[in-house]
Amino acid sequence: SQQGEEDPQALSIQEGENATMNCSYKTSINNLQWYRQNSGRGLVHLILIRSNEREKHSGRLRVTLDTSKKSSSLLITASRAADTASYFCAALSFQGAQKLVFGQGTRLTINP
């Protein structure tokens, strides 16, 4: 089963608005990471939050982690048309093999 599950599956907002995407996971984790994928391209790492952190910022990105609820959120503030992409979370589990398991992603569309 997928370790990371994003919600919503698709999100469409106006330029300048904030976009929030959520991710849930199932087992204890070492860290959780967010990636971005432009159409037809590979994934690019955005931000990593460790299991002992609760919030992390990078530019217009803010990530939160709630290990009690096994969930994370990615907030993109002041969205731009160039933010249009798919966003994936991936959790690195303590259990079993040390592999990153990705969710299905959130397809974000920023309308100009």
Partner 1 sequence: GAGVSQSPSNKVTEKGKDVELRCDPISGHTALYWYRQSLGQGLEFLIYFQGNSAPDKSGLPSDRFSAERTGGSVSTLTIQRTQQEDSAVYLCASISGVAANTGELFFGEGSRLTVL
- Which residues of this chain interact with partner 1, rule CB under 8 A? 2, 30-31, 33, 35, 41-45, 48, 50, 88, 90, 92, 97-105
Q: How far is the CB of 62 from partner 1 (least distance, A)?
A: 18
Q: How far is the CB of 25 from partner 1 (least distance, A)?
A: 13
Of 19 and 90, CB closest to partner 1 = 90
Q: State how far the alpha carbon of 2 is from the alpha carbons of 13, 26, 102, in Å.
A: 27, 8, 7
Of 42 and 59, CB closest to partner 1 = 42
Tokens of 50: 């460790």
DSSP for 40-78 reads TS-EEEEEEEETT-SEEEETTEEEEEETTTTEEEEEE-S
Of 1 and 14, CB closest to partner 1 = 1
